[in-house]
Amino acid sequence: MDSEIGRIPKGWKLSFIKELTTLNKSSWRKNNHPNEVNFLNLGNIKQNNILGTDLYQWKDAPSSARRILSINDTIVGTVRPGNKSFGYIQREYLTGSTGFAVLTPKQEIYAIFVYLCVCSDTNIDRLSRLADGTAYPKVDNQSILNTRCILPPDDLFQIFHILLKPLFERIEISHRESSALVKLRNTLLPKLISGELRIPDAETLLEEAGI
């Protein structure tokens, strides 16, 4: 089937990502906020790898700690999008910075497709070129929503999501394991160097941690 970008499969259509998502669907406000927030800032995530989060009491939290993040959301940093502060959310109880555009899929079967489309190298390069401002180049939300994509029928969306979901779950598990190992290394290494901890003690701690 012909389209303005060339031939595409029959039953598919050229569209924009906004057809599949809702932007910034939920935010904390004065009348609904929790007592504490697990805050994810732009610097805490790179190319779908969460490097860490910061736990705050609500009264002490940064004013940007407002976006409610849900499983299957895609987040894209709007400030300096070329820094690649983007990700696919697979953890509960996270609060994102208002510096993220949060894309919530209208159906779960769209979730991974949205992430792969919006966070592709080609699209991140496009967003970087569109970012405006000298000190803090920022891309507007409409430019993100206007990410072009070729949409298959829903039955293919379903198959696509079923096939890729286990892969994304494995990626998330690997990221968590890697993060745990880094924390353990940072804890044990100074103690080993100072002599506070001996090798047999370290081995025992590793066994207790299941490593």
For the chain, the domains span: 15-151, 153-211
Residue 45 CA to chain centroid, in angstroms? 7
- Residue 185's pLDDT is 74
Report the topology of domain 15-151: Adenine-n6-DNA-methyltransferase TaqI; Chain A, domain 2 (3.90.220)
- Which DSSP string do the residues of 68-132 spell out, in sequence order? EE-TT-EEEE-BSGGG--EEE---SSEEEETTEEEEEESSGGGHHHHHHHHTSHHHHHHHHHH-B
Report phi then psi at 65, rounded to 5.
Answer: -80, 80
Tokens 């959301």 label which residue? 73
Average pLDDT over every residue of 129-135: 91
Whether 112 and 168 have beta carbons less than 8 Å apart is answered as yes
Using the predicted structure, report yes or no on whether residue 158 has a pLDDT greater than 90. Answer: yes
Question: Which pLDDT belongs to residue 4?
Answer: 62
User: Residue 160: pLDDT above 60?
Assistant: yes
Between 85 and 51, residue with greater pLDDT: 85
* Cα torsion angle, 74, 169, 69, 64, sign: negative
End-to-end alpha-carbon separation of the chain, Å? 54
Residue 203 Ramachandran class (φ > 0 left, ψ -120 to 50 alpha, else beta): alpha
Instruction: Average the pLDDT over each of 43-57, 82-96, 196-210 and give the range with the smallest value.
Output: 196-210
Residue 8's pLDDT band (cuts 50, 70, 90): confident
Q: Which residues have a Cβ under 8 Å from the Cβ of 117 and sit 6 or more positions away? A: 17, 123, 147, 149
Tens digits of residue pLDDT in 31-78:
999 999 999 999 999 999 999 999 999 999 999 999 999 999 999 999
Backbone angles phi, psi at 70, to 5 degrees: -120, 155
This prediction's pTM:
0.84
- Residues 79 and 171: their CA atoms lie apart, in Å, by 26
Collapsed DSSP state (helix, strand, coil) of residue 211: coil
pLDDT digits (tens, 9 = 90+) for 14-35: 999 999 999 999 999 989 999 9
Cα–Cα distance, 165 to 106 (Å, whole number): 17
